[in-house]
Amino acid sequence: MKTSKDKEKKTAKKSSELKNQKTDQNSIRPELAEVIHRHSFGLDVNRPDAVAKRKEKNRRTARTNVEDLCDKDSFIEYGALAVAAQRQRRSMEDLIRKTPGDGLITGIAQVNGELFPEDKARCMVMAYDYTVLAGTQGAFNHKKKDRMLKIAYEQRLPLVFFGEGGGGRPGDVDTGGVSVAGLDISTFGLFAALSGHVPVVGVVSGFCFAGNAALLGCCDVIIATKDSNIGMGGPVMIEGGGLGVFEPEEIGPMDVQTQNGVVDIEVSDDVEAVATAKKYLSYFQGATSSWEADDQLRLRDLIPESRKRTYNVRTVIKTIADTDSFLEMRPKFGPGMVTGLLRIEGRPFGVIANNTAHMAGAIEAEDADKAARMMQLCNAHGLPILSLCDTPGFMVGPEVEKRAQVRHVCRMFVVGSHVTVPYFTIVLRRGYGLGVMAMARGSFHESVFTAAWPTGEFGGMGLEGAVKAGFKKELAAVEDPQERETLYEKMVAHAYEIGKAINMASYLEIDAVIDPADTRKWIMRGLKSAPPRQPGDANHCYVDPW
């Protein structure tokens, strides 16, 4: 009968034999060798022809972009062994070699992990591979997307989506007769459901048409290289619809898509696109511990002494912001409004600001759309909002009303009234009428604080116009033109004196008149005094694609 001591001796002997046994490191079991071999077909190093074609067009491969985006050795790829659903048409060997991943690289990684904690750095990545069937959407990459989109939603992972590609793929035949037109797939609904739930970043370099463009258009921000083309239909769809024959370069070029507001940020190439995506994502990952700022005394002299002179509000924004932290959105669309993201003492903010260099800062339909969407974006993802005001009000006149001015500008009131993040209003110079009220969430008493620089001036409308309209009879009663002009100038001067910022503050219509050099201090103290927003207080549960 064997005792426990005998068993222990036997176990020790086996352990000793294993330690002494030499393992052949080059010996790999067949099933593992097959896995390694299959994965190798998706690597750029084994696809020299495909890589060469990308280099000819001054573009990087999808895998290179993913590697550049993600922190080193952090990317875990899902679905790498998929191939196109064309087994009935092509050999498996051909599909493995030419359709790795079914043209879509997906996985989870860390982005900006050197700046933020691990739980904030986690990110979902989806990249269409244009070297595989022109980046088209196949049956299996749809299935892969659906799997990843559900994970992103459940785990609240931000999504970076590289959208280059031609849309739907008609050549997939391995559907088993379960679908005729493929209109029952869940991808587009699942993708759109991420809006407002997590930050969604779209990146394009090259052609992006049809289904790829539909996904791109659901993103919070679209970053595109200057040689990109984006359209809801590509050349094949346009020709199939009997609308003519067009080259892909003729459809949705950047000089169109940046001015109409489709593209938020235009960049020079893939390298800058990925760097911009990382920077954009960082604002939603938290505060940075280190920062620098410009000399704040500069702010005292950025507003001209003459109220009739314009100035560059972007210089004001960049001076208030931490050094190199301002990222502007849609600069060529709605030029009367400047919007973007910035940091103050490392803390991320959204900013909206009137641009007096365009129509004197009067708010037009496109400007209002631009500002309202920035409010939505910040509110959905918890960023405080800074509003820098210098506007004579909403633009008026018969021509502007043809652009649905009434509906568009009122978006600022509706969206602003639902904002639950801290909102700070600072009037740089003019604060007139309904326009400045919209900039201030509907009223000067709706912000955490409404402050003005000493250059601030206020009125229910432009003061010159107010004098002409309000004192029309008095002015008409003066027969001598020179005396009438003198009276008019006197009335205007009186109106400006009444509307001065310091007088507005004495009536408590605004909360304070501050030294421009103290702007950052006011913002940060205001932020620290604002109560934290409770979960579920976002109200607006998605970010309007427009």
CA atoms lying within 13 Å on the CB side of residue 297: 0
Asked whether residue 71 is domain-assigned, the answer is yes
Contact 95, 140 (CB under 8 A): no
pLDDT surpassing 60 at residue 362: yes
Model confidence pLDDT, tens digit, residues 54-105: 999 889 999 999 999 999 999 999 999 999 989 898 999 989 999 999 999 9
CA atoms lying within 13 Å on the CB side of residue 182: 19
Model confidence pLDDT, tens digit, residues 391-439: 999 999 999 999 999 999 999 999 999 999 999 999 999 999 999 999 9
**Mean pLDDT throughout 6-34?**
65
Does 317 lie in the same domain as 217?
no
Alpha carbons 414 and 224: distance in angstroms, whole number: 30
Q: What are the residues whose beta carbons fall under 8 Å from the beta carbon of 498, sequence distance 6 or more? A: none
Contact 271, 225 (CB under 8 A): no
Does 215 lie in the same domain as 199?
yes
In terms of Cα–Cα distance, which of 412, 458, 455, 187 is closest to 316? 455
**Predicted pLDDT at 25:** 56
**Predicted pLDDT at 28:** 86
Q: Is the dihedral of CA 143, 149, 150, 152 positive or negative?
A: positive
pLDDT surpassing 70 at residue 508: yes
State the helix-helix crossing angle for 405-417 and 365-381, rounded to 10 degrees: 20
Contact 239, 245 (CB under 8 A): yes
Q: Is the dihedral of CA 512, 515, 521, 527 positive or negative?
A: positive
Model confidence pLDDT, tens digit, residues 437-484: 999 999 999 999 999 999 999 987 777 777 777 778 887 887 788 888
Alpha carbons 30 and 458: distance in angstroms, whole number: 80
Q: How confident is the model at residue 285 (pLDDT cuts 50, 70, 90)?
A: very high
Does 223 lie in the same domain as 149?
yes
Model confidence pLDDT, tens digit, residues 175-233: 765 566 767 789 999 999 999 999 999 999 999 999 999 999 999 999 999 999 999 99
**Predicted pLDDT at 174:** 81
**Mean pLDDT throughout 355-364?**
96
Alpha carbons 171 and 424: distance in angstroms, whole number: 54
pLDDT surpassing 70 at residue 19: no
pLDDT surpassing 50 at residue 18: no
Alpha carbons 492 and 478: distance in angstroms, whole number: 16
Pick the last residue of a domain from 282, 306, 331: 282
Does 46 lie in the same domain as 84?
yes
Asked whether residue 107 is domain-assigned, the answer is yes
State the helix-helix crossing angle for 519-529 and 313-320, rounded to 10 degrees: 60
Rounded (5°) CA angle 80-84-85? 125
Alpha carbons 494 and 412: distance in angstroms, whole number: 32
Distance of CA 392 to the CA centre of its chain: 29
**Predicted pLDDT at 540:** 63
Q: What are the residues whose beta carbons fall under 8 Å from the beta carbon of 311, sequence distance 6 or more? A: 302, 303, 304, 356, 357
pLDDT surpassing 90 at residue 15: no
Alpha carbons 205 and 227: distance in angstroms, whole number: 7
Alpha carbons 200 and 202: distance in angstroms, whole number: 7
pLDDT surpassing 70 at residue 29: yes
Residues making up the chain, counted from first to last: 546
Output the six-digit token pair for 79.
């679905």
Whole-number Cα distances in Å, 175 to 140, 141, 190, 217 = 10, 13, 21, 27
Rg (CA), the chain: 30
Residue 514's SS3 state is: coil
Does 392 lie in the same domain as 270?
no
Asked whether residue 329 is domain-assigned, the answer is yes
Paired with 127 in beta bridges are 105, 162
Alpha carbons 478 and 474: distance in angstroms, whole number: 7
Does 255 lie in the same domain as 228?
yes
Strands 221-225 and 265-267: parallel
**Predicted pLDDT at 151:** 97
Does 394 lie in the same domain as 245?
no
Domain ranges, residue 323 = 296-456+500-529
Q: Is the dihedral of CA 37, 39, 41, 46 positive or negative?
A: negative
Burial class from Cβ neighbours inside 10 Å (0-12, 13-18, 19+) for residue 534 reads exposed
Does 393 lie in the same domain as 330?
yes
Domain CATH for 413: 3.90.226.10
- Long-range contacts of 255-261, Cβ-Cβ distance < 8 Å, separation of 24 or more: 257/224, 257/228, 257/230, 258/330, 258/331, 258/332, 258/333, 259/332, 259/333, 260/333, 261/330, 261/333, 261/334, 261/366, 261/369, 261/370, 261/546
**Predicted pLDDT at 323:** 98
Tell me how crowded residue 519 is: count the other CB atoms within 10 A of its CB. Answer: 23
Rounded to 5 degrees, φ, ψ at 292 are -135, 160
Does 337 lie in the same domain as 246?
no
Output the six-digit token pair for 24.
């052949």
Q: How confident is the model at residue 145 (pLDDT cuts 50, 70, 90)?
A: very high
Asked whether residue 512 is domain-assigned, the answer is yes
Pick the last residue of a domain from 239, 259, 282: 282
Asked whether residue 537 is domain-assigned, the answer is no
Rounded to 5 degrees, φ, ψ at 251 are -100, 120
Number of domains in the chain: 3
**Predicted pLDDT at 528:** 93
* Terminal CA-CA length for the chain: 82
Does 256 lie in the same domain as 117?
yes
Does 119 lie in the same domain as 232?
yes
Asked whether residue 4 is domain-assigned, the answer is no
HEC states along 445-476? CCCCEEEECCCCEEECCCHHHHHHHHCHHHHH
Burial class from Cβ neighbours inside 10 Å (0-12, 13-18, 19+) for residue 487 reads middle
Q: How confident is the model at residue 487 (pLDDT cuts 50, 70, 90)?
A: confident
- Long-range contacts of 173-177, Cβ-Cβ distance < 8 Å, separation of 24 or more: 173/85, 173/86, 173/88, 173/89, 174/85, 174/86, 174/87, 174/88, 174/139, 175/85, 175/139
**Predicted pLDDT at 544:** 86
Distance of CA 291 to the CA centre of its chain: 22
Asked whether residue 27 is domain-assigned, the answer is no
Asked whether residue 105 is domain-assigned, the answer is yes
Does 326 lie in the same domain as 259?
no
More confident: 56 or 491: 56
Q: How confident is the model at residue 518 (pLDDT cuts 50, 70, 90)?
A: very high
**Mean pLDDT throughout 527-540?**
76
